[in-house]
């Protein structure tokens, strides 16, 4: 029997911060976990599409476009990680789905870790894919160099999504969010998590090194680390089934 799926896209405003929330679930998904996908700096929900589809048979999947990214309006002010996470917590609370699995990629890992720290009642697990900012790359120049290396590892389709999303984001808003990304001490914040942390790293990720990901795993009270064979920084696009399997297996 073919299962009916429901897809809903809506905008949620938290003060002056606007979020786009894309929810998709099977009609019989009431007892399935809710998994929330949070993109990184400059990006949008587009690069989560493959992971979204891989998770959909097993969960209620929610993909987000954060303020200033994708097609969402840019705030008139810089937004630090703590403020963005607090607003994101209100979005997650509005899902009315009980504690959710929060999956962040790149800078998205900072927002989901901080949300887990601020509102543990809303979060069952935190998943950090390609977490930043690696202490070996904690400057704008070092991040740019690592990102440039990564472009040679990604597929042409992924590079197209990344480049066009960066253009949509625009330089001013990207730069406004870069400083909070470089100064947020994620290696300290994971120590305060009361829920399990799963770190996922593409085997060849030049942005989140193996040593850095082991440091985050070892810093959190309860944590696991999964390496995706051959994966680049955007492992969720290069190997969506493997990433989905890791997320579901560590439930």
Query: Per the domain annotation, does 184 fall within a domain?
Result: yes
Asked if residue 2 is part of any domain, the answer here is no
Q: What is the mean pLDDT of the chain?
A: 94
Burial letters for 168-184: b for 16+ Cβ neighbours within 10 Å, e otherwise? Answer: bbeeebeebbbebbbeb
More confident residue, 78 or 17: 17
In sequence order, the β-bridge partners of residue 26 are 5
pTM: 0.95
**CATH code, domain with 33:** 3.40.50.1820
- Whether residue 122 contacts residue 177, with contact meaning beta carbons closer than 8 Å, is answered with no
pLDDT, position 250: 86
Asked if the structure places residue 170 within a domain, the reply is yes
Q: pLDDT tens for residues 103-153? A: 999 999 999 999 999 999 999 999 999 999 999 889 999 999 999 999 999
pLDDT grade, residue 7 (50/70/90)? Answer: confident
What are the tens digits of pLDDT across the range 85-98?
A: 999 999 999 998 88
pLDDT tens profile 141-174: 999 999 999 999 999 999 999 999 999 999 999 9
Q: Give the pLDDT of residue 141.
A: 95
1 lies in a domain? no
pLDDT at 1: 41
Domain residues for the domain of 238 are 7-250
40, part of any domain: yes
Question: Is 148 domain-assigned?
Answer: yes
Question: CA-to-CA distance for 60 and 27, rounded, in angstroms?
Answer: 10
215 within a domain of the structure (yes/no): yes
pLDDT in tens, 8-32: 889 999 999 999 999 976 656 667 8
- Least confidently predicted of 24-38, 54-68, 74-88: 24-38
């Amino acid at each position: 029997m073919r299962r009916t799926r429901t897809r809903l896209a809506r905008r949620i405003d938290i003060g002056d911060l606007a979020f786009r929330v894309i929810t998709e679930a099977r009609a019989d998904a009431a007892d399935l976990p809710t998994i929330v996908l949070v993109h990184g700096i400059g990006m949008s929900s587009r690069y989560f599409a493959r992971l979204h589809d891989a998770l959909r048979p097993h969960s209620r999947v929610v993909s987000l476009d954060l303020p200033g990214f994708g097609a969402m309006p840019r705030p008139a002010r810089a937004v630090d990680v703590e403020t963005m996470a607090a607003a994101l917590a209100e979005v997650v609370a509005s899902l009315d789905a009980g504690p959710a699995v929060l999956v962040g990629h790149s800078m998205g890992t900072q927002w989901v870790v901080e949300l887990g720290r601020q509102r543990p009642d809303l979060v069952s697990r935190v998943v950090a894919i390609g977490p930043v900012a690696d202490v070996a790359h904690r400057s704008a120049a070092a991040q740019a160099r690592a990102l440039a290396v990564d472009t040679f590892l990604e597929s042409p389709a992924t590079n197209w999504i990344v480049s066009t999303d960066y253009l949509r984001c625009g330089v001013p808003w990207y730069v406004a969010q870069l400083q909070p990304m470089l100064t947020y001490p994620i290696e300290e914040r994971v120590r305060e998590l009361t829920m399990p942390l799963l770190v996922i790293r593409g085997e060849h990720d030049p942005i989140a090194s193996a040593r850095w990901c082991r440091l985050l795993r070892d810093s959190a009270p309860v944590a696991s680390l999964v390496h995706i064979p051959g994966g680049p920084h955007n492992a969720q696009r290069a190997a969506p089934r493997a990433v989905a399997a890791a997320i579901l297996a560590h439930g």
